[in-house]
Amino acid sequence: MKVGRRAGASVELVDLPTPRIGPGEIRVALAACGICGTDLEKLRGNYRSSGGILGHEPVGTVAEIGDGVPGLAVGDRVFVHHHVPCYRCAVCRRGDLTFCPEYAATNLDPGGFAESFRVSAVHVARGAVLPLADSVGWAEGALLEPAGCAWTALRAVRFPPGGRLLLFGLGPVGLLYARLARAWGASWIGGTELAPLRREAARRGGIDAVFDPSDPEAMRRAIRAEVGADGIDLAVVATGAPAAVEASFEFVRRGGTVNLFGLPEAGTPLRQDLQALYLRGIRIVPTYATTEADLADLHALLAAGRLPLADLVTHRYPLAEIGTAFATARRPEAALKVLVTGPAYPEAGTGPTPDPAGPGRG
């Protein structure tokens, strides 16, 4: 079985035995798995996580079912969430599910970039396997996890309907955040981004104002002219760049919120006048990952056709070309979302190819 694994700062394809499943477990044949910014950060050595397993946005078909698994059949189209909380500890009881000590310790075996992967009994029992509606294509399904992170963040920051937000970083997850904020009821959405391809995608996707941070002073003047003296309700830092974190505080209204959403650079200090933040009442809310309940809510929006996402996928590569896929994903001037496809995907190739959804979609 072919598996994409970390090899220093790159990805290599290795042969591993097909995972054997036990009671309560399933095995899923890969259809597609998105390359996430955190996958790239793991290769760069900027992610303090255990294991460094790559691939956490997978969709596929159920290939094998262990004893005692209800409600699933071989051939079912599913999304699988890679992390699950325990739902029992004090952290979970407070509602901070993604910060549960057990959450990041759970994962797929051997990861999402594999011809097939084992889903543990813990994942199955805690609702991590989400059957996909016929109307939800593979690309949309593979975007569920990053979209879920944005949905969970909007809940955590208590974003008000009719509120205004400014995104720092318009990569795939920043663009997803913008679309979800609009569905949430945002009245104005702005964004800053260096890459022209991503700025254009933001404009096509309905972001109200897009700013180029290559000239910081010109960007500040343009944002101020747009948002006025009162400022915005929410600044979302969807990049790890320290300059973006520092700039985000300037435009937030009194009593507003800064959401640390993208993975910060390891070891970066917070360079802010803390008394000024104190007197302005600025909240700093880091958010991380998503939950099964939020993923189910998003799936319902996708199934109803109320949340278009598939157009954010610009490239699809078969698993055999995973090295090229990662090289493309590293180029913000050339790509938005890059998918790696597996044996359950009907058409493997590069570029904006059609997105066969399986039953009900041709």
- Domains, the chain, ranges and CATH? 2-147+290-341 (3.90.180.10), 158-286 (3.40.50.720)
Predicted confidence band of residue 320 (pLDDT cuts 50, 70, 90): very high
DSSP state of 222: H
pLDDT at 359: 35
Q: Flag whether pLDDT at 83 surpasses 80.
A: yes
What is the tens place of the pLDDT at every residue in 212-255?
Answer: 999 999 999 999 999 999 999 999 999 999 999 999 999 999 99
Indicate the Cα dihedral angle 44, 110, 239, 329, nearest 10°.
Answer: 70
* Average of per-residue pLDDT values in the chain: 93
What is the tens place of the pLDDT at every residue in 263-301?
Answer: 988 888 888 999 999 999 999 999 999 999 999 999 999
Burial (Cβ within 10 Å: 0-12, 13-18, ≥19) of residue 240: buried
Sign (positive/negative) of CA torsion 127, 345, 133, 157? positive
Predicted confidence band of residue 46 (pLDDT cuts 50, 70, 90): confident
Q: Flag whether pLDDT at 355 surpasses 90.
A: no
The answer to whether 180 and 154 have CB atoms below 8 angstroms apart is yes
pTM of the model: 0.93
Tokens 């946005």 -> residue: 57
Percent of the chain with pLDDT over 90: 88
Q: Span 117-127, mean pLDDT?
A: 98
Of residues 302 and 47, the one with the higher pLDDT is: 302
Cα–Cα nearest to 141, from 306, 8, 304, 310: 310
The answer to whether 33 and 339 have CB atoms below 8 angstroms apart is yes
DSSP state of 109: B
pLDDT at 332: 95
SS (H, E, C) 13-46: EEECCCCCCCCCCEEEEEEEEECCHHHHHHHHCC
pLDDT at 346: 83
The answer to whether 65 and 103 have CB atoms below 8 angstroms apart is no
Predicted confidence band of residue 349 (pLDDT cuts 50, 70, 90): very low
Cα–Cα nearest to 338, from 181, 196, 174, 171: 171
The answer to whether 343 and 30 have CB atoms below 8 angstroms apart is yes
Q: Flag whether pLDDT at 348 surpasses 60.
A: no
Q: Flag whether pLDDT at 151 surpasses 60.
A: yes
Q: Which amino acid is at 148?
A: G
DSSP state of 251: G
Q: Span 70-91, mean pLDDT?
A: 97
Q: Span 325-331, mean pLDDT?
A: 96
pLDDT at 47: 80
**CA-angle at 313, arms to 341 and 117, nearest 5°:** 30
Q: Distance of CA 345 to CAs 94, 140, 228, 231, 349, Å?
A: 40, 13, 48, 46, 10
Cα–Cα nearest to 322, from 4, 2, 33, 1: 4
> What is the CB neighbour count within 10 angstroms for residue 122?
14
pLDDT at 50: 53
Q: Span 327-353, mean pLDDT?
A: 82
pLDDT at 347: 63
Residues in the chain: 362
Predicted confidence band of residue 261 (pLDDT cuts 50, 70, 90): very high
Report CA 94 to chain centroid distance, whole Å: 24
Name the H helices within the chain: 37-44, 90-93, 121-125, 138-142, 144-156, 172-184, 196-204, 216-227, 242-248, 274-280, 292-303, 322-329
Lowest mean pLDDT among 31-40, 289-298, 340-349: 340-349
